[in-house]
Structure formats: structure tokens, C-alpha cells
């Protein structure tokens, strides 16, 4: 039988899915043992025990200085920033995506500009951002928004343009004004895509968050990673990176679920 037609059973599927992760862990373990045999205080690939130690220290022992559980305080700080930035970026994407997608005049005005600014490397403009917005939360949130919103807007514009022209015509024959068509025909149909667009940008959003926290912060997952990087404390960095990855993957899945729940008709469309 052709390999293309071979389908693994449920169990095989599960085992296969776990395999690469298992291999990664094993490779790490071996690498760690080898390096530690050479230099027992090597910090690059700490032993699993050291990782557990570090997790214990960061997550389940109160910090002597602040009395906080640093891991959780960092997580809260980062998620707060991320959540706010994603919310703002989503709102911007929605408004501009619809305006640019629906109205030829606004499209002519903004589409080329959007294409250009989505290519500006935001990290290079940080000084401007700081001076305009200060070093506080605002500038961190803004960096993330600037980093992801233009791409989300462009994605949504394409989505609006993908709506069958027939639908917009039909809506007009039903007496819909531009505004009404926007909120009753276009908006509900692009919302699911907005969620998908957000999912696609999660990785970038984390990236910008970490970059922002590396530049100036006193808490946050990215702050901690860059702080302890100074001492090559990979025993802290690895759990933090794994945790960030986990959070991102969970957010990804959660957003997908949200879309299915809130917009059941998107799934019906696929079934046919």
C-alpha cells in the first residue's frame, strides 16, 4: 500500500506524537551528563535535579527580598502585558481590517502604508517608543501591538476581500447601508478569522514581550530570563522557556476552542 494511504491507529498516533518530545528529553539528558562529567559545575545543560531545584526555588519558595513567589509573579506580570497587548492589537486589527477591507477609498489610503509599516523592524525604533511613551507598561504593550497589529490587519483585510462579492450585493439589495453591512455581514464572518489571526501571532507576541522585558522591567518571564542569562543560569532559563512554550500552546488551543464554541457555523462549513 502506498505510504500516502497508510493511516496510523489511535494508539500508534499517540505514541508517534510523544516520540519527538521523548527524544528531545533524552538528548538533553545525555548532553547534560556528558558536560557535567567534564565540569561538574557546568551551567549550560544542568542536570534534571538542578532543574527541579530551580523550579522549586523560583515557584515554591518565597523570594527572600520581596517575599514573592518569583515564578508566579513573573508569569502574572507577563500575562498581564500580553493580554492587554493582544486585546489592543485585536481591536485595532478589527477596526482597520474592516475599514480597509470594505471601503475602496480607505484601502487606497492605508493599504500601501500598512504594507510598509508591517516591514519596519520595531526593535530598531525602541528609543523613539520609550521617549514617546515612557519606560513603563505602556511602552511594553505598545511594542507588542506595533509588532503584531499590522500583520493582523493585513490578514483581516485579505479575509474581508475574500468574502464572496455576492454576499455584499445581496446585503445591499436587502437595504443594508455600509455600516449595517459592516456590523451584520462582514464583522461576524471575520471574527472567527480574527481569532485564527491572533493564534498565528501568538509566537511573535511572546517574542516582542520578551524583547520588551529584556530592555526594561522589574518582573516578567522575559525579564527573569535575561537577568539570569547574565549568570548563564540555564537551570532557570529552561523551565521558563518550557513554561512560555506551554502557555503559548495552551493559548493556541484555547483560542481554537473558543472559535468553535462561539462560531459553530465555521465548523459546519468545513464538514460540507
Partner 1 sequence: MIRVENVWKEYGEQVVLERISLDIADRAFVALVGPSGCGKTTFLKLLLGEEQPSEGRITLDGQPLAPEPTPERGVVFQRYSVFPHLSVLDNVLIGRDFSGSPFRGRLGRVSRRAAADEARALIAEVGLSGNEDKYPAQLSGGMQQRLALAQALIMRPRVLLLDEPFGALDPGIRADIHVLMKRLWNETDLTVVMVTHDMREAFTLATRVIAFERPRNAPADRVRYGASLSSDIAVWPPRVAGLTDPDSTPYTFASPGGDDPAQATGPRRDDPAPPLAGAKP
Partner 2 sequence: AAEKKDFKVAWSIYVGWMPWGWASDNGIVKKWADKYGIAIEVTQFNDYVESMNQYTAGAYDAVTLTNMDGLSIPAAGGVDTTAVIVGDFSAGNDAVILKDKTSLADIKGQKVNLVEYSVSDYLLSRALESVGLTERDVSIVNTSDPDMVGAFQTADVTAMVTWNPMVSEIAALPNAHKVFDSAQIPGEIIDLMVANTEVLKDNPSFGKALVGIWYDTMAVMTSDTAEGAAARAAMGAASGTDQAGFESQLAATKLFPTAAEAVAFTTSPELKGTMDKVRNFLFVKGLLGSGAASPDFIGIELPDGSILGDSANVKLRFTAEYMKAAADGAL
Residues contributing to the site for its own copies (CB under 8 A): 2-8, 12-13, 16-17, 19-21, 44, 102-105, 108-113, 115-125, 127-128, 131, 151, 168, 172, 177-178, 181, 200, 202-204, 206-207, 210-211, 214, 222, 225, 229, 232, 234, 237, 240-241, 244-245, 248-249, 252
Residues 218-237 touching partner 2, rule: CB under 8 A, are 218, 223, 226-233
Q: Kindly state the smallest distance separating residue 66's Cβ from partner 2, in Å.
A: 7
Residues 140-169 touching partner 1, rule: CB under 8 A, are 164, 166-167, 169
* Gap between the Cα atoms of 182 and 98, Å rounded: 7
Give me the phi and psi of 40, to 5 degrees please.
-60, -20
Select from 112-120, 235-243, 244-252, 259-267 the region that touches partner 1 (CB under 8 A): 259-267
Q: Which is nearer to its own copies, 67 or 175 (CB)?
A: 175
Q: Is 272 helix (H, G, I), strand (E, B) or coil?
A: coil
**Residue 32 interacting with partner 2 (CB under 8 A):** no
> What are the residues whose beta carbons fall under 8 Å from the beta carbon of 66, sequence distance 6 or more?
73
Cell numbers representing residue 172 in the block: 445591499
Buried b (16+ CB within 10 A) or exposed e, 1-21: eeeeeeeeeeeeeeeeeeeee
- DSSP per-residue string spanning 87-101: HHHHHHHHHHHHHHH
Residues engaged in binding partner 2 (CB under 8 A): 39-44, 53, 57, 63-66, 126-128, 130-131, 133-136, 213-218, 223, 226-233
Amino acid at each position: 500500500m502506498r505510504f500516502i494511504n497508510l493511516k496510523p491507529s489511535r494508539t500508534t498516533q499517540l505514541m508517534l506524537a510523544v516520540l519527538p518530545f521523548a527524544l528531545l528529553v533524552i538528548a538533553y539528558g545525555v548532553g547534560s551528563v556528558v558536560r557535567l562529567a567534564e565540569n561538574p559545575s557546568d551551567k549550560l545543560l544542568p542536570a534534571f535535579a538542578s532543574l527541579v531545584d530551580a523550579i522549586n526555588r523560583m515557584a515554591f519558595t518565597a523570594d527572600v527580598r520581596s517575599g514573592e513567589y518569583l515564578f508566579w509573579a513573573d508569569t502574572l506580570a507577563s500575562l498581564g502585558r500580553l493580554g492587554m497587548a493582544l486585546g489592543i492589537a485585536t481591536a485595532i486589527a478589527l477596526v482597520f481590517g474592516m475599514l480597509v477591507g470594505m471601503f475602496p477609498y480607505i484601502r487606497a489610503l492605508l493599504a500601501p502604508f500598512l504594507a510598509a509599516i508591517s516591514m519596519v523592524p520595531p526593535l530598531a525604533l525602541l528609543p523613539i517608543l520609550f521617549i514617546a511613551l515612557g519606560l513603563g507598561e505602556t511602552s511594553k504593550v505598545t511594542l507588542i501591538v506595533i509588532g503584531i497589529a499590522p500583520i493582523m490587519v493585513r490578514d483581516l483585510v485579505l479575509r474581508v476581500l475574500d468574502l464572496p462579492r455576492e454576499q455584499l450585493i445581496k446585503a445591499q439589495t436587502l437595504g443594508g447601508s455600509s455600516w449595517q453591512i459592516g456590523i451584520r455581514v462582514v464583522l461576524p464572518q471575520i471574527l472567527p478569522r480574527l481569532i485564527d489571526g491572533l493564534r498565528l501571532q501568538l509566537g511573535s507576541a511572546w517574542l516582542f514581550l520578551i524583547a520588551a522585558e529584556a530592555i526594561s522591567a522589574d518582573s516578567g518571564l522575559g525579564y527573569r530570563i535575561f537577568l539570569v542569562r547574565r549568570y548563564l543560569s540555564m537551570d532557570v532559563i529552561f523551565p521558563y522557556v518550557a513554561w512560555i512554550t506551554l502557555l503559548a500552546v495552551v493559548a493556541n488551543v484555547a483560542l481554537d476552542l473558543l472559535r468553535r464554541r462561539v462560531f459553530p457555523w465555521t465548523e459546519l462549513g468545513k464538514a460540507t
